[in-house]
């Protein structure tokens, strides 16, 4: 895991991790400041139990976007700077090289998520709900599943496609993933070709909203679906398989 450790160190050294994460934290702090409220149907939502799941939706949305940003250029940059040649001469396989870089991306994203969760901790303390702090731990790891999916997918796409195309596909999958449940309902309401096409798209795209909803369930006291968690792990496994299958031609 030397390559992964090196890649993480570089991300920390280049401070991109902090910059993007701080933007997210700033949004969260602004969001949770005393003067600001969320209004739904014209009525303010102020209590912690209702706000926490809404915050998780925001954290999930921001972290997903961060995952694309943090993962898109890591592997192409290595090739651009010819660092890859230093790896080949040590007899390290492409699969291992790409996998370790992808793992580095995933861990960086989890770090960014961790920084975002500091905002959640502050918010919890501001609302004097110390008793709820422990819930942030399982919520963090459940949400990390979705973030890993986006990060691994972006890393994998960056091997197969040029930067812009990979970023675009990752962004579409990410958006379809966080709006999966909405699109699913929409698909149920429309029939014909559009409905069928949507069914196919939604079968391929992982349901990121479903994963985040499980984290929200911890706060609302609803049951957590083991199926969703295991399915998330299986998707990560499938993406991992992708690094064994797809190779970069330039190597």
Partner 1 sequence: MGNMKKIAYGAVGVILLFTTIFTGRTGLGEENIEIYKKALELQSKMEGTGFENFRLEDYTVAFYDGKNDYVIVNSDTEITTQKREPVMDTLVATAWETDGEYQVLCPTVEKLQGLVNMLMPAAQVQTTPEDTDSANTDNAYTQESHVATIWHEAFHCYQLTNYEQGIEKLIGAEDRETANVADTNLIVTEVDGNEQVVNLYKKEIALLEKAINEDDLDVVKEIILEYKQLDEERKEFLSSECQLAEAYYTVMEGTAYYVEELAYANLQQPEKQDDRTNKNVVWDINQTSANDIKLEPYTEGTNKYYNIGRAQCLILDKLSPDWKADYDFSRELIELIYEEAGILQ
Say whether residue 141 binds partner 1 (CB under 8 A): no
Both tokens of 147, joined, read: 């973030």
Identified binder of partner 1 from the candidate list 9, 44, 81, 141, rule CB under 8 A = 44
Backbone angles phi, psi at 185, to 5 degrees: -65, -40
CB of 216 to partner 1, least distance (A): 10
Identified binder of partner 1 from the candidate list 19, 164, 185, 193, rule CB under 8 A = 185
For 25-163, list the strands marked E by DSSP: 38-40, 43-45
Is residue 228 within 8 Å of residue 211, measured between CB atoms? yes
Say whether residue 251 binds partner 1 (CB under 8 A): no
Name the one range near partner 1 by CB under 8 A: 71-79, 108-116, 154-162, 230-238: 230-238
CB of 163 to partner 1, least distance (A): 27
Say whether residue 191 binds partner 1 (CB under 8 A): yes
Identified binder of partner 1 from the candidate list 73, 76, 83, 95, rule CB under 8 A = 95
**Stretch 46-65 residues interacting with partner 1 (CB under 8 A):** 46-47, 49-50
Identified binder of partner 1 from the candidate list 23, 190, 194, 197, rule CB under 8 A = 190
Positive or negative, the CA dihedral 181, 184, 188, 191 is positive
Say whether residue 184 binds partner 1 (CB under 8 A): yes
Pairing of strands 38-40, 43-45: antiparallel
For the chain, list the strands marked E by DSSP: 38-40, 43-45
Is residue 45 within 8 Å of residue 51, measured between CB atoms? yes
Positive or negative, the CA dihedral 87, 89, 95, 96 is negative
Say whether residue 36 binds partner 1 (CB under 8 A): no
Positive or negative, the CA dihedral 103, 180, 61, 116 is negative
Residues found near partner 1 in the complex (CB under 8 A): 40-41, 43-47, 49-50, 93, 95-96, 181-182, 184-185, 187-191, 195, 220, 225-227, 230-231, 233-234, 237-238, 240-241, 244
């Amino acid at each position: 895991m030397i390559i992964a450790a090196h890649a993480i160190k570089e991300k920390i050294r280049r401070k991109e991790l902090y910059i993007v994460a701080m933007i997210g934290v700033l949004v969260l702090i602004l969001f949770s400041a005393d003067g600001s409220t969320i209004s739904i149907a014209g009525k303010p939502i102020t209590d912690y139990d209702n706000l926490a799941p809404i915050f998780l939706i925001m954290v999930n949305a921001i972290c997903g976007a961060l995952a694309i940003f943090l993962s898109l250029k890591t592997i192409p940059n290595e090739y651009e700077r010819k660092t890859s040649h230093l790896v080949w001469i040590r007899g390290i396989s492409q699969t291992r090289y790409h996998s370790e870089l992808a793992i580095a991306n995933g861990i960086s994203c989890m770090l960014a998520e961790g920084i975002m969760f500091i905002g959640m901790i502050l918010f919890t303390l501001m609302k004097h709900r110390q008793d709820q702090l422990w819930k942030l731990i399982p919520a963090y790891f459940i949400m990390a599943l979705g973030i890993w999916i986006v990060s691994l997918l972006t890393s994998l796409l960056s091997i197969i496609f040029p930067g812009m195309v990979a970023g675009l596909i990752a962004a579409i999958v990410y958006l379809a993933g966080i709006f999966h449940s909405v699109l699913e309902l929409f698909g149920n309401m429309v029939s014909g070709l559009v409905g069928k096409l949507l069914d196919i798209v939604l079968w391929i795209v992982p349901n990121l909203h479903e994963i985040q909803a499980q984290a929200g369930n911890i706060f609302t006291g609803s049951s957590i679906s083991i199926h969703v968690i295991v399915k998330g792990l299986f998707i990560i496994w499938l993406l991992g398989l992708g690094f064994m299958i797809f190779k970069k031609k330039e190597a």
